[in-house]
Amino acid sequence: MSLARYILYRFFLMIPTLLIITFIVFSLIHFIPGDPIRAIAGINASPEDIERIKREMGWYDPIHVQYFRWLSKVVTGDLGKSIRTGYEVSEIIARTLPNTLELAVLSMAFALSMGIPVGIYAAYKRGSPIDRAIILLSLTGSSFPQFLIGLVLIYVVSVELNLLPSAGKQGPIYTLEGFKSALMPALTLSLYSAGIIARITRSSTAKVFSELYTLYAQAKGLPKRTVIFRHVLRNSLIPVISIAGIQFGFLMGGAVIVETIFAWPGIGRQLVDAIISRDYILVQGIVLVYTVLFMVLNLIVDISYKILDPRVELK
């Protein structure tokens, strides 16, 4: 299969999954215990109000009718209005999502720049005490609850040393102030992924180190540097890309906690606020956007996998 056909095929494959996922996201609202509309309208709503809202929403129509009506709005970008604030859900997302993306990109950069070198070094020294120490360290890194890292960082860096702001976003991350405010949240967010990336890099690099072609390159008398960069890393970093893609999704999900701790105005914190204030329409919209983003990301990862490694069979 050619690359173009593969991309097209994967794209079409996404459609049924998207339909099912949107259906799940849509129908979750029907699983709210008790009367969902009562929950939406608030405790002060009279039975007449609730009846009126139900009629306006078309609550009595069959669920698939309601679903397709909702879906036809969603594809035009209309995700409904927030129950609590009355703002368009799409506006809220457009306002908060870029902040989360900035945070996730910076965290990913941290995670990769910590995880990959450490993983390579461990593989190079495999079996040695250093290797074992690195494995232990990466395991420790992915055992920290994010709120522990966040709270300790705030206490040490902001409260005791007064070096960085403890909350909020002070501007875009490419400005100094913005970068300073993003530093701690991004670091907190990156540690778990850094641990995972280090371990994947280590195991895939260790595998390539024991390949015959690596041995041959060494036997030819090539300098270590050339062997590592030209022969080993080019092969061993390919699985890391796919893990990095998955980890980016996890970073977006993990942003929920980090944004809450650091009062970062992102979509994750918005989601928690929406859940706590029972703003179901907003929850629905955010979950949907998150999921679609993640699916597109996975597709990009798979395609880049193929471009980077021509040996991968397209199925």
Binding interface with other proteins (CB under 8 A): 17, 20-21, 24-25, 28-29, 31-33, 135-136, 139-140, 142-148, 151-152, 154-155, 159, 249-254, 256-257, 260-261, 271-272, 274-276, 280, 283, 287, 290-291, 293-295, 298
> Least distance (Å) from other proteins to the CB of residue 154?
6
CA 19/CA 31 separation, integer angstroms? 19
Nearer to other proteins, 170 or 298 (CB): 298
Which residues, at least 6 apart from 16, have a Cβ–Cβ distance to it below 8 Å? none
Nearer to other proteins, 48 or 160 (CB): 160
Q: How far is CA 126 from CA 49, 130, 136, 141, 300, in A?
A: 68, 8, 13, 19, 32
3-state DSSP helix/strand/coil % of the chain, to nearest 5: 75, 0, 25
CA 59/CA 35 separation, integer angstroms? 12
Nearer to other proteins, 17 or 226 (CB): 17
Nearer to other proteins, 87 or 155 (CB): 155
Extract the tokens encoding 268.
């994750």
Cross-strand pairs, 88 = 81
> Least distance (Å) from other proteins to the CB of residue 211?
18
Extract the tokens encoding 233.
């890393």
The dihedral region occupied by 81, where left means phi > 0, alpha psi between -120 and 50, and beta the remainder, is beta
Nearer to other proteins, 142 or 170 (CB): 142
Nearer to other proteins, 186 or 217 (CB): 186
> Least distance (Å) from other proteins to the CB of residue 52?
23
Smallest CA-to-CA distance from 270 within 41, 22, 89, 66 is with: 89
> Least distance (Å) from other proteins to the CB of residue 116?
21
16: exposed, middle or buried (Cβ count in 10 Å: 0-12, 13-18, 19+): exposed
> Least distance (Å) from other proteins to the CB of residue 275?
4
Nearer to other proteins, 244 or 274 (CB): 274
> Least distance (Å) from other proteins to the CB of residue 64?
18
Indicate the angle between helix axes 3-27 and 280-308, nearest 10 degrees: 160
> Least distance (Å) from other proteins to the CB of residue 290?
5
